[in-house]
A and B are shown apart, each in its own frame.
Chain A
Amino acid sequence: MSVILVFLLVIAGFAGWWLSHQRLTTKPWLEQGVAGDFVGLDRSALPTAKIGLGVFLAVVGCLFSLFTSAYFMRMGLSDWRPLPLPRLLWLNTGVLVLSSIALQCAVVAARQGQIDMVRLGLATAGLTALAFLVGQLMAWRQMTDDGYLLSSNPANSFFYLITGMHGLHILGGLVGLGRTTVGAWNGARPGRLRLGVELCAMYWHFLLFVWLAIFALLAGWAATFIDICRQLLT
């Protein structure tokens, strides 16, 4: 359970930082009125939707940390047979990176008000994300053809489970991306469009990060890295 505890420690750090700005040591019974002192305590200047997405990403991060924790605990048992990852995953990783870059371009374009570039960026991001999903399915096919079935070994089970969960999150993101893209073509208000594109980009970058982390996990590098850390500590 160490992975999830480390993750929660990070969350606790954020929460602590935020709480420390809420003047938790004041004596509210002595303070009356709406004085200038309180400016900045009312709410954050960030758009509410971004904060909402941030909280949601914390939940998603929690989910994948728990899968990782379970992975490490199950890995220690004797019947674990690590599996060779298909080379296709490298290509998929590249495609997902492209998707993130395209969205980042769309964000820059939206800030500069270049609607054509926004449309191009959104469409590219959507298509590359779809290509990533197709690539993942093909990787699954390769695995099953090579005899690495879901239930034949826990390493296989975790591979399908974690990549599947990540794929589902991409699929959900595509719904949001689709709505933003439709808005970009039907002339959504510039402010609204910009916020939508920024939210998509935030979600995409996070899922790219999650993918890199689970790729490292499934390829076994994460375990090697932790072994090295452990040896350094002991």
Chain B
Amino acid sequence: MVDITPADGIPPAEVAEVELYHPHSWWTKYVFSQDAKVIAIQYSATATGIGLVALVLSWLMRLQLGFPGTFDFITPEAYYQFITMHGMIMVIYLLTALFLGGFGNYLIPLMVGARDMVFPYVNMLSYWIYLLAVLVLVSSFFAPGGPTGAGWTLYPPQAIMSGTPGGQDWGIILMLSSLILFIIGFTMGGLNYVVTVLQGRTRGMTMMRLPLTVWGIFTATVMALLAFPALFVACVMMLLDRALGTSFFMPAISEMGEQLQHNGGSPILFQHLFWFFGHPEVYIVALPAFGIVSDLISTHARKNIFGYRMMVWAIVGIGALSFVVWAHHMYVSGMDPYFGFFFATTTLIIAVPTAIKVYNWVLTLWRGDIHLTIPMLFALAFIVTFVNGGLTGLFLGNVVVDVPLSDTMFVVAHFHMVMGVAPILVVFGAIYHWYPKVTGRMLDEMLGRFHFWVTFLGAYLIFFPMHYLGLMGVPRRYAELTDMTIMTESAHHLNSFISIMAFIVGFAQMVFLFNLIWSIRHGREAGGNPWRATTLEWQTPHTPPTHGNFGKDLPIVYRWAYDYSVPGAKEDFIPQNMPGSFGPSREPA
């Protein structure tokens, strides 16, 4: 038990004003802004915009799968292009950018009690390079030959051969260039997120007092900084293979009866590099979601998070373990059985810290004062969905089960549940939770509930049947399934049903977008702290927070982030910056 020191004796932690950049014109205030909050909104808006493109691409794919042969313009080539761009956009340009660039930029400075990121200029550059990467990506839709159709994993040799859409045209070159730009831009932003957590924390904000949201984003950023170079290396080497005829990945191969100039390269080398990035990427998306959902549950159940320390250790443990499981994506590449055995073991071990997190969320809910607000609904939906997707992961983590299932819709169902639907549910919950802080107004409640139920139930109706299709043996990556014997009439009906549900769920997202825009002007006034939450971003003197976040003096932190329903306290929450000691549990042990 540490005793309370009166606030008078402590000098406020003040950042010298010269260090804070002050904009002088409209352009530097709203466009080329160095304020992390503006950059966060720019990141989020760009990610949402490109995400909508990916949503439309998924509709086009479902049109083809649900009603094969009906739409002439969806050729097999076009279908592969849709698949590739949908996957790449959703994983990298939407989820990674939104969680780290969007939520990271907005929440890290506010939650740790800083005025801004530590390197605001580099932070601004990060966004503009990200935007450039997105524009290069979009330009491939208009390039001769269209975007690449190599699949989101871009496996060579097919990725750069003429049989693949964009392989010998501009598609693959623009894709690789865009990824290289994205990684450069992300590294700039990532340095900021990490160093701000290390050096920007206000007085009293020790690492063990950080909200789990910050822990999640922090660890994910460290992982991303170490994992993205692998994708960078893979992209540069493939670009050289494609543009200058080197043979890093390209084996001796002939195409249309003609021997290509490549010789002796190793496609497996690319797979190793790609998945050395690709598997940590799953947790780069999941860890911020874990962190955010912990805060949503604690706040809306009015109860401290269960096992805070264990949650922190689990986040760090998952982050470390995720670097030694990459080859479980390569069980079908013909690897040494002992190699597969090793990776199956590490994969199953990672379930332990993940399960600890799930238990802790459930135990936080146990006997809590659960308010079924929209953020809480999304958080609950996340837990259920994540458990579902995680359990099929235990199947696929075993070599013998993975080999027959690897090329079926079962895998599609698994990864959409665990790293598509689950993180997106958290994104929605987080937007409903923090929108009042960003705009000063609440999102519309009725539209929000409509959005939640259609999205949650709809996503299950889309992805649950895919498990059955996969177990029947329906393959993934096929543009045309009509002539296959596995495709019984009922399987076709199921496919049409999934497609119709996909349109309905997509439509619900339009309602959500309308809500986002409409509520900026017409939403109910929120006040500074509508959820009665403890963390620092809700204690700012202005809502939305002004440039510099905290007025004249930075807040001083006296307690951890989860003092909800403390016995003896006046209210059922105690903000982190409120001095004083409460509750019987505070007696010396």
Interface residues in chain A, defined as those with a beta carbon under 8 Å from any beta carbon in chain B: 1, 4-5, 8, 11-12, 15, 19, 22-38, 41-44, 48, 51-52, 55-56, 58-59, 62-63, 66-67, 70, 73-74, 77-80, 150-151, 154, 157, 161, 165
Contact = CB atoms under 8 A, between A and B. Distances in A.
B198 A44 contact: yes
A222 to B, nearest CB: 18
B581 A32 contact: yes
7 A-B pairs with least C-beta separation: A79-B264, A28-B560, A33-B4, A157-B246, A34-B204, A22-B207, A63-B229
Given A19-B316, A78-B264, A154-B264, A30 B586 contact: yes
A157 B248 contact: yes
B501 to A, nearest CB: 41
B320 to A, nearest CB: 6
B308 A29 contact: yes
A148 B264 CA distance: 17
Contacts of A8: 226, 323
A42 B10 CA distance: 14
B323 to A, nearest CB: 6
Interface stretch (B164-172, B266-274, B398-406): B266-274
B585 A30 contact: yes
B201 interface: yes
A63 B246 contact: no
Interface stretch (B148-156, B187-195, B359-367, B510-518): B187-195
Contact of B237 (A5, A27, A70): A70
Interface centre among A5, A41, A55, A150 (most CB of B within 10 A): A55
B72 interface: no
B206 A22 contact: yes
B273 A32 contact: no
Given A26-B208, A28-B209, A29-B304, A43 B244 contact: no
A62 B266 CA distance: 21
A-side interface mostly:
helix
6 contacts: A4-B276, A33-B5, A62-B229, A63-B232, A66-B229, A79-B263
Contacts of A29: 304, 308, 560, 562-563, 585
Contact of A58 (B4, B203, B226, B323): B226
B75 to A, nearest CB: 33
Nearest to A11: B226
Contacts of A44: 198-199
Interface in B45-66: none
B261 interface: yes
B397 to A, nearest CB: 19
Interface in B294-346: 304, 308-309, 312-313, 316, 320, 323-324
A161 B236 contact: yes
A19 B118 CA distance: 21
B272 A12 contact: no
A126 to B, nearest CB: 22
A10 B363 CA distance: 36
Given A32-B2, A77-B266, A41 B559 contact: no
A171 B119 CA distance: 21
Q: Which residue, A41, A48, A51, A66, has most C-beta atoms of chain B within 10 A?
A: A66
Contact of A70 (B269, B320, B581): B269
B252 to A, nearest CB: 9
Contacts of B23: none
Contacts of B204: 33-34, 38, 42
B559 A32 contact: yes
Nearest to B588: A30
Given A70-B269, A79-B264, A161-B236, A34 B203 contact: yes
B248 A154 contact: yes
A8 B191 CA distance: 17
Interface in B3-25: 3-5, 10, 13
B173 interface: no
A44 B199 CA distance: 7
Nearest to B196: A48
Contacts of B205: 42
A115 to B, nearest CB: 23
A41 B201 CA distance: 10
B125 interface: no
B558 A59 contact: no
A219 B585 CA distance: 65
Contacts of A52: 118-119, 191, 195
A151 B245 contact: yes
B207 to A, nearest CB: 4
Contacts of B232: 63
Contacts of A56: 187, 191
A62 B244 CA distance: 25
A151 B246 contact: yes
B323 A59 contact: no
B2 A37 contact: yes
Contacts of A27: 309
A107 B248 CA distance: 42
B22 to A, nearest CB: 19
Contacts of B209: 28
Contacts of B199: 43-44, 48, 51
A137 to B, nearest CB: 17
Contacts of A62: 225-226, 229
B479 interface: no
